[in-house]
Amino acid sequence: DAGVIQSPRHEVTEMGQEVTLRCKPISGHNSLFWYRQTMMRGLELLIYFNNNVPIDDSGMPEDRFSAKMPNASFSTLKIQPSEPRDSAVYFCASGRQTNTEAFFGQGTRLTVV
Amino acid sequence: EDQVTQSPEALRLQEGESSSLNCSYTVSGLRGLFWYRQDPGKGPEFLFTLYSAGEEKEKERLKATLTKKESFLHITAPKPEDSATYLCAVPEDYKLSFGAGTTVTVRA
Protein backbone atom coordinates (compact mmCIF):
# COMPACT_ATOMS: atom_id res chain seq x y z
CA ASP A 1 0.00 0.00 0.00
CA ALA A 2 1.49 3.35 -1.04
CA GLY A 3 -0.20 5.27 1.73
CA VAL A 4 -1.90 8.63 1.31
CA ILE A 5 -0.42 10.49 -1.63
CA GLN A 6 -0.44 14.27 -1.82
CA SER A 7 0.72 16.60 -4.55
CA PRO A 8 2.48 18.86 -4.94
CA ARG A 9 4.91 18.56 -2.01
CA HIS A 10 5.79 22.22 -2.22
CA GLU A 11 3.91 25.14 -3.74
CA VAL A 12 5.01 28.74 -3.93
CA THR A 13 2.51 31.15 -5.37
CA GLU A 14 1.77 34.83 -5.50
CA MET A 15 -1.00 36.42 -3.53
CA GLY A 16 -4.26 36.34 -5.45
CA GLN A 17 -3.48 33.22 -7.42
CA GLU A 18 -5.52 30.04 -7.29
CA VAL A 19 -3.95 27.04 -5.59
CA THR A 20 -5.12 23.43 -5.87
CA LEU A 21 -3.86 20.72 -3.59
CA ARG A 22 -4.47 17.08 -4.43
CA CYS A 23 -4.89 13.92 -2.40
CA LYS A 24 -5.22 10.22 -3.13
CA PRO A 25 -6.41 8.36 -0.01
CA ILE A 26 -5.60 4.79 0.91
CA SER A 27 -7.76 2.37 -1.04
CA GLY A 28 -10.70 1.09 0.97
CA HIS A 29 -10.75 3.98 3.42
CA ASN A 30 -14.12 5.68 3.85
CA SER A 31 -13.05 8.79 5.74
CA LEU A 32 -10.95 11.62 4.36
CA PHE A 33 -9.70 14.65 6.24
CA TRP A 34 -7.92 17.84 5.25
CA TYR A 35 -5.81 19.36 8.04
CA ARG A 36 -3.70 22.49 8.17
CA GLN A 37 -0.62 22.74 10.39
CA THR A 38 1.05 25.92 11.57
CA MET A 39 3.44 26.66 14.41
CA MET A 40 0.89 28.89 16.10
CA ARG A 41 -2.22 26.70 15.84
CA GLY A 42 -0.91 23.17 15.41
CA LEU A 43 -3.06 20.72 13.46
CA GLU A 44 -6.48 22.07 12.56
CA LEU A 45 -9.21 20.12 10.80
CA LEU A 46 -10.49 21.94 7.74
CA ILE A 47 -13.01 19.49 6.31
CA TYR A 48 -14.13 15.90 6.70
CA PHE A 49 -15.58 13.61 4.02
CA ASN A 50 -17.29 10.30 4.62
CA ASN A 51 -17.99 8.07 1.63
CA ASN A 52 -17.11 11.03 -0.63
CA VAL A 53 -19.70 13.30 1.00
CA PRO A 54 -18.62 16.43 2.90
CA ILE A 55 -19.86 15.99 6.45
CA ASP A 56 -18.32 18.95 8.23
CA ASP A 57 -16.63 21.94 6.63
CA SER A 58 -16.86 24.20 9.66
CA GLY A 59 -13.09 24.34 9.87
CA MET A 60 -12.72 25.89 6.43
CA PRO A 61 -11.53 29.39 7.30
CA GLU A 62 -13.27 31.37 4.58
CA ASP A 63 -15.21 31.10 1.36
CA ARG A 64 -11.89 31.30 -0.43
CA PHE A 65 -11.39 27.67 0.56
CA SER A 66 -13.27 24.84 -1.11
CA ALA A 67 -12.84 21.06 -1.21
CA LYS A 68 -14.21 18.32 -3.40
CA MET A 69 -14.15 14.58 -3.46
CA PRO A 70 -15.49 13.44 -6.82
CA ASN A 71 -14.73 9.77 -6.14
CA ALA A 72 -13.29 7.49 -3.49
CA SER A 73 -9.75 7.84 -4.75
CA PHE A 74 -9.32 11.58 -5.20
CA SER A 75 -9.87 14.82 -3.35
CA THR A 76 -8.85 18.42 -3.91
CA LEU A 77 -8.52 21.46 -1.70
CA LYS A 78 -8.66 24.77 -3.55
CA ILE A 79 -7.79 28.25 -2.34
CA GLN A 80 -8.94 31.12 -4.52
CA PRO A 81 -7.65 33.78 -4.16
CA SER A 82 -4.70 32.83 -2.01
CA GLU A 83 -3.32 35.15 0.68
CA PRO A 84 -0.02 35.18 2.58
CA ARG A 85 -1.78 34.07 5.78
CA ASP A 86 -2.72 30.82 4.03
CA SER A 87 0.94 29.80 4.14
CA ALA A 88 1.08 26.51 6.07
CA VAL A 89 1.50 22.79 5.61
CA TYR A 90 -1.69 21.11 4.42
CA PHE A 91 -2.21 17.45 5.19
CA CYS A 92 -4.65 14.96 3.81
CA ALA A 93 -5.47 11.91 5.94
CA SER A 94 -7.70 8.90 5.47
CA GLY A 95 -9.21 6.30 7.76
CA ARG A 96 -11.26 3.12 7.54
CA GLN A 97 -14.06 4.22 9.81
CA THR A 98 -15.20 7.07 11.96
CA ASN A 99 -13.33 7.43 15.26
CA THR A 100 -10.44 5.23 14.21
CA GLU A 101 -6.87 6.12 13.51
CA ALA A 102 -6.17 8.27 10.47
CA PHE A 103 -3.16 7.90 8.19
CA PHE A 104 -1.53 11.04 6.91
CA GLY A 105 0.13 11.97 3.67
CA GLN A 106 3.46 13.78 3.50
CA GLY A 107 1.77 17.14 3.21
CA THR A 108 1.94 20.11 0.88
CA ARG A 109 3.98 23.06 2.09
CA LEU A 110 2.26 26.15 0.72
CA THR A 111 3.96 29.52 0.63
CA VAL A 112 2.00 32.52 -0.57
CA VAL A 113 4.15 35.57 -1.27
CA GLU B 1 -11.70 24.61 25.42
CA ASP B 2 -8.64 22.36 25.17
CA GLN B 3 -9.54 18.72 24.81
CA VAL B 4 -5.99 17.41 24.68
CA THR B 5 -2.96 18.79 26.52
CA GLN B 6 0.56 17.48 26.14
CA SER B 7 3.55 18.04 28.40
CA PRO B 8 6.31 18.93 28.36
CA GLU B 9 6.47 21.01 25.18
CA ALA B 10 10.08 19.97 24.62
CA LEU B 11 12.31 17.27 26.05
CA ARG B 12 16.05 17.00 25.60
CA LEU B 13 17.52 13.62 26.48
CA GLN B 14 20.91 12.03 26.43
CA GLU B 15 21.10 8.78 24.52
CA GLY B 16 20.03 6.00 26.88
CA GLU B 17 18.23 8.37 29.27
CA SER B 18 14.68 7.05 29.64
CA SER B 19 11.76 9.45 30.09
CA SER B 20 8.01 9.84 29.71
CA LEU B 21 5.67 12.16 27.84
CA ASN B 22 2.21 13.02 29.09
CA CYS B 23 -1.08 13.46 27.27
CA SER B 24 -4.11 14.49 29.31
CA TYR B 25 -7.61 14.73 27.88
CA THR B 26 -10.95 16.10 28.96
CA VAL B 27 -13.33 14.43 26.53
CA SER B 28 -15.99 12.27 28.11
CA GLY B 29 -16.74 8.80 26.88
CA LEU B 30 -13.29 8.26 25.45
CA ARG B 31 -13.44 6.25 22.24
CA GLY B 32 -9.72 5.77 21.89
CA LEU B 33 -6.48 7.67 22.17
CA PHE B 34 -3.92 7.76 19.38
CA TRP B 35 -0.21 8.44 19.41
CA TYR B 36 1.64 9.72 16.37
CA ARG B 37 5.25 10.54 15.60
CA GLN B 38 6.09 13.45 13.29
CA ASP B 39 9.51 14.04 11.78
CA PRO B 40 10.40 17.47 10.35
CA GLY B 41 8.95 17.97 6.90
CA LYS B 42 6.80 14.85 7.09
CA GLY B 43 3.26 13.91 7.97
CA PRO B 44 2.31 12.41 11.33
CA GLU B 45 3.02 8.69 11.42
CA PHE B 46 0.58 6.52 13.35
CA LEU B 47 2.10 4.64 16.30
CA PHE B 48 -0.55 3.29 18.68
CA THR B 49 -4.21 3.17 19.53
CA LEU B 50 -5.34 2.69 23.15
CA TYR B 51 -8.97 2.07 23.98
CA SER B 52 -9.33 1.32 27.67
CA ALA B 53 -7.74 2.24 30.98
CA GLY B 54 -4.93 -0.11 31.85
CA GLU B 55 -4.15 -0.92 28.24
CA GLU B 56 -0.52 -0.85 27.10
CA LYS B 57 1.07 -0.99 23.65
CA GLU B 58 4.76 -1.33 22.79
CA LYS B 59 6.86 -0.70 19.73
CA GLU B 60 10.63 -0.95 19.96
CA ARG B 61 11.69 1.56 22.64
CA LEU B 62 8.25 3.11 22.96
CA LYS B 63 5.49 2.03 25.33
CA ALA B 64 2.14 3.78 25.58
CA THR B 65 -0.16 3.44 28.57
CA LEU B 66 -3.65 4.75 29.28
CA THR B 67 -5.53 5.75 32.44
CA LYS B 68 -8.97 7.30 32.74
CA LYS B 69 -7.57 10.81 32.49
CA GLU B 70 -4.25 10.61 30.70
CA SER B 71 -1.83 8.64 28.62
CA PHE B 72 1.91 8.29 28.89
CA LEU B 73 4.43 7.55 26.20
CA HIS B 74 7.51 6.02 27.76
CA ILE B 75 10.77 6.10 25.84
CA THR B 76 13.22 3.53 27.14
CA ALA B 77 16.94 3.95 26.43
CA PRO B 78 16.29 6.37 23.56
CA LYS B 79 18.53 6.70 20.54
CA PRO B 80 19.08 9.78 18.37
CA GLU B 81 16.70 8.34 15.77
CA ASP B 82 13.89 8.66 18.33
CA SER B 83 14.15 12.43 17.98
CA ALA B 84 10.79 13.68 16.70
CA THR B 85 7.61 15.42 17.75
CA TYR B 86 5.16 13.07 19.40
CA LEU B 87 1.48 13.92 19.07
CA CYS B 88 -1.50 12.44 20.82
CA ALA B 89 -5.07 12.72 19.59
CA VAL B 90 -8.55 11.76 20.70
CA PRO B 91 -11.60 11.27 18.50
CA GLU B 92 -14.19 13.99 18.99
CA ASP B 93 -17.24 12.87 17.11
CA TYR B 94 -15.66 11.84 13.80
CA LYS B 95 -12.54 13.98 13.84
CA LEU B 96 -9.24 13.67 15.67
CA SER B 97 -8.41 16.48 18.08
CA PHE B 98 -4.65 16.78 18.44
CA GLY B 99 -2.50 18.03 21.25
CA ALA B 100 0.27 20.52 20.50
CA GLY B 101 2.90 17.79 20.74
CA THR B 102 6.13 17.14 22.61
CA THR B 103 9.35 17.66 20.69
CA VAL B 104 11.94 15.12 21.79
CA THR B 105 15.62 15.62 21.03
CA VAL B 106 18.00 12.78 21.84
CA ARG B 107 21.71 13.62 21.88
CA ALA B 108 24.33 10.99 21.18
Residue B53 DSSP code: T
Measured between CA atoms, the residue of chain B closest to residue A97 is B94
Q: How many Å apart are CA B102 and CA A95, to the nearest integer?
A: 24
Measured between CA atoms, the residue of chain B closest to residue A33 is B95
pLDDT digits (tens, 9 = 90+) for A24-77: 999 999 999 999 999 999 999 999 999 999 999 999 988 999 999 999 999 999
Residues of chain B where predicted confidence (pLDDT) is lower than 50: none
Instruction: Please compute the mean of the pLDDT values over residues A12-19 and round it to a whole number.
Output: 97
Q: Is B22 exposed, middle or buried (0-12, 13-18, 19+ CB in 10 A)?
A: middle
Do the Cβ atoms of A43 and B87 come within 8 Å? Answer: yes
pLDDT value for A2 = 81
Percent of chain B at pLDDT above 90? 81
Q: How many Å apart are CA B102 and CA B22, to the nearest integer?
A: 9
A67 with A77: CB under 8 angstroms? yes
Q: Which of A4, A42, A48 sits opposite B98 (nearest CB)?
A: A42
Percent of chain A at pLDDT above 90? 90
What backbone phi and psi angles, to 5 degrees, belong to A5? -115, 125
Q: Which of A33, A103, A107 sits opposite B95 (nearest CB)?
A: A33
